[in-house]
Chain A
Amino acid sequence: MKNFIIGIGGTGAKCLEHLVYCCGAGLGPSQLWAGIIDQDEANGNVNRTKILLSKYINLRNSLKEEGKHDLGKDSNLLNTLIITNPDSVWLPLGGANPSLGKVINYDALKTEVQGLIDCLYNKEEKSQKLSEGFRARPNIGAVAMLATTSNEDDPFWAQIYKAVELAKGGEEVRIFLVSSIFGGTGASGFPNIARRIKSIQQKLQVTSNLHIGGALMLPYFTYEVPDKDMESEIYARPEEFMRQTKGALEYYSRLFKHNKIFDQVYIAGWDPLSKITNFKMGGNLQNNPPFFPELYGALGALKFFNKDNKISENQEVLHIGKNPTNDVVWSDIPDVSDELNSKESIAQLIRFAFSYNWMYGPALTGSWTKIKKYANENWFKRLVYKQTEIGHENNQEIISLMKEFCQDILVWIADICRSTAAHTDQKVDLISSDFFSEYKPKASENRVILKEKLNASEKSQFKEIITDSSNFKLLNVMSNVCYNKSIKGQRGLGVFMDTLFRSCKK
């Protein structure tokens, strides 16, 4: 089975970020192609996801280096082979900074057509530069999407064509789109990209094996726009999100009724809305924190891709929600399948990240002269010393990459819990993060600062990191590391990494 995911817009990119972490935890399919569609090339969220994708792929490739390291085919750690184009982001209007007028070549249009355009778009909208996205104007976005061709030579669309041809060849292909239902790029891209794929399918006369799914994020955050200097600007106004959502839902209702484009659509929203405290219109300054509802979008995609998910003949619309109280707990995270327990896998990943970052990573970092003091310890002898030359530069690089990835995981989950609930009555009770990090809500970057080192008391709070009263301690991790057998086929650093990951499972 081949899987393709396209995150459309900022929300799509953020959902994709969550999805990458979930794939790191073993919740993803064995293979996945990932792409992002966003006109706002420099968008901070998109960049963050791009960087994460790159780290994930790089790390996974390092730990799957033939002849040197191998996590093993049965390892859940970084299980999913994620593939992207060299540039994982596709800009609908690539190149210089066009305006809508330029895109539709307004000046060359007939007068009556110009008149029609004038009815649909005001002057600001026609002249709005589109390099930082469609600013919650799906009417602009839709035009931009439709104006571009699905060029088979375009690297992005080449993948879509390839997907459809694979389906024609008899392989099952699943394509998933995720975006917000409100806003600009997502709202406009979701139905139009889906239609575009459908048209390619029809063009190549593919009638089976191709399934399209999607996750639509209803409004789940809000922000306060400073009045000063914003009067003449076009930007996504949060007070219009509900109205836009209402309109979009009516549209999709009619669409799904008359036109089966999607096989499965996952809908998710949030109440009360999470608050973004530092509003930015777009570009690299728009670096919104990860929010919990975006995890629903990611899990919806993973569920769609899961081999146990039987795609029905009929179109399905699935709604993901949480418990009615203001507390977000682990049971609010749905399982990807009967075999893949999302909570356990994510918790395992978090514990792994903690253990590696503060306990084992530092022990493996440095020259052999520094590391050899652990040479007599069982875990080291069994899992590291016999497997590879740990002090070697290449191995140290992998150690470092994994440490970075683990830090990203910890920052991600801490940020979700803090930012989702910040300035609201909500409480996201998934992990305790105070003892290993500091939260700065007003910062646009580095909201979560991890502590460099932890003292004994802080380390002992590891058992409380996942708020499930499991009393799973670092001692348990160490014991598991020493006793878990390595899996056949593993090599090099893959032995230790996977063993440590498995040891973090309760």
Chain B
Amino acid sequence: MNIGRAMMSGGKSLIVLAPFAIISIWFIFTLFSGPSPSGAITKFFITVVEVGELEQQGVTFSDIAKDLFTMAAWINIWSLAIVTIFALGWSFGSHYLNVDAPGKAKIYAIHWIIVSGILIGLILITNIYCLESTYFRASQEVTGSGGGKITLILTVYYTLAYYLSVLLGTARFVRSSVLLANKLPGNI
């Protein structure tokens, strides 16, 4: 199999993934650098914690903000890693799917759906694990609905990143297996 083409696909995938990754990496660095008192991120996180309960404990948001930001940063790191692996993996691996005859590509839609489903599942698991398990101390501060909000936003964001990157990165002869990918011009 033409390794060069597979690498090109990976490259195209990376190009599309790059803006999402840049935003994600900027976000991660911002989170690691710690909360700012009036930043938008701080305002958002205030909405996802049980501030009343904190007050009962004699604790303010700023006391837990650093932990919270660190947790959010790690969720993003793992989600980005998963998306990158899956996007590159699909783009590269699509060259090895046995689409050896006309009409066969659409059969691999099942494979794509499964791979995409696994990706979404992993992102959800990552979110849920971080927000519900005892891995991060800050997970105790996030409310159920707040956790749901975070999970939804991140899942949508990273799934979109994955989808757009595989849209372009999938091998040409497999494009019929990816939703709407066959609408792309043939020479891309």
Contacts and interface: CB of A to CB of B under 8 A. Distances in A.
Contact of B175 (A363, A378, A462, A474): A378
A482 B102 contact: no
Interface string B1-14: 11001000000000
A374 B182 contact: no
B101 A377 contact: no
B58 interface: no
A351 to B, nearest CB: 12
A459 B1 CA distance: 17
Contacts of B123: none
Given A374-B102, A478-B99, 8 more contacts: A363-B103, A373-B103, A378-B173, A378-B175, A462-B100, A473-B100, A477-B100, A479-B1
A25 B186 CA distance: 28
B163 to A, nearest CB: 18
Given A363-B102, A378-B186, A459-B101, A475 B1 contact: yes
Contacts of A479: 1-2, 5, 95, 171-173
A457 interface: no
- In the complex, which of the residues B99, B103, B105, B173 has the most CB atoms of chain A within 10 Å of its own CB atom? B173
B173 A482 contact: yes
Contacts of B176: 376-377
Contact of B103 (A374, A381, A386, A482): A374
A105 B21 CA distance: 96
B140 interface: no
Contacts of A475: 1, 96, 98-100
A33 to B, nearest CB: 38
A480 B5 CA distance: 10
Contacts of A374: 102-103
A378 B174 CA distance: 8
B19 to A, nearest CB: 25
Closest 3 interchain pairs by CB? A474-B100, A382-B186, A482-B172
A377 B1 contact: no
Interface residues of A, number: 27
Contact of A378 (B95, B101, B172): B172
A360 B172 CA distance: 17
A376 B172 CA distance: 11
A218 B101 CA distance: 44
Q: How large is the interface on B (under 10, 10 to 19, 20 to 34, 35 or more residues)?
A: 20 to 34
B101 A474 contact: yes
A322 to B, nearest CB: 34
B7 to A, nearest CB: 13
A381 B2 CA distance: 22
7 contacts: A363-B101, A376-B176, A378-B173, A378-B175, A476-B2, A478-B100, A483-B5
A459 B96 CA distance: 17
Contacts of A480: 2
Contacts of B101: 359, 363, 459, 474, 478
A462 B99 CA distance: 14
A273 to B, nearest CB: 41
A26 to B, nearest CB: 22
Contacts of B187: 382, 485
Contacts of B175: 376-378
Interface string A329-371: 0000000000000000000000000000001100100000000
Contacts of B99: 475, 478
Interface in B164-188: 171-173, 175-176, 182, 186-187
B173 A379 contact: yes
A481 interface: yes
A459 B102 CA distance: 13
Nearest to B100: A474
B78 to A, nearest CB: 33
Contacts of B173: 377-379, 478-479, 481-482
Interface in B89-111: 95-96, 98-103, 105
Contacts of A378: 172-173, 175, 182, 186
A383 B94 CA distance: 21
Contacts of B96: 475
Nearest to B101: A359
A202 to B, nearest CB: 57
A377 B99 CA distance: 11
Given A382-B187, A478-B173, A479-B171, A377 B105 contact: yes
Nearest to B98: A475
A4 interface: no
- In the complex, which of the residues A374, A378, A379, A482 has the most CB atoms of chain B within 10 Å of its own CB atom? A378
A377 B182 contact: yes
A220 B170 CA distance: 53
A377 B186 CA distance: 9
A476 B1 contact: yes
Interface string A459-474: 1001000000000011
B167 to A, nearest CB: 13
Contacts of B105: 377
Nearest to B175: A378
Given A377-B176, A377-B182, A382-B187, A483 B103 contact: no
Contacts of B182: 376-378, 381
A378 B187 CA distance: 8
Interface string A278-299: 0000000000000000000000
A363 B100 CA distance: 13
B101 to A, nearest CB: 5
Contacts of A473: 100
Contacts of A377: 102-103, 105, 173, 175-176, 182
A382 B105 CA distance: 16
A380 interface: yes
Contacts of A380: 102
A261 B101 CA distance: 53
A487 to B, nearest CB: 14
A64 B105 CA distance: 32
A478 B100 CA distance: 6
Contact of B102 (A360, A382, A462, A485): A360
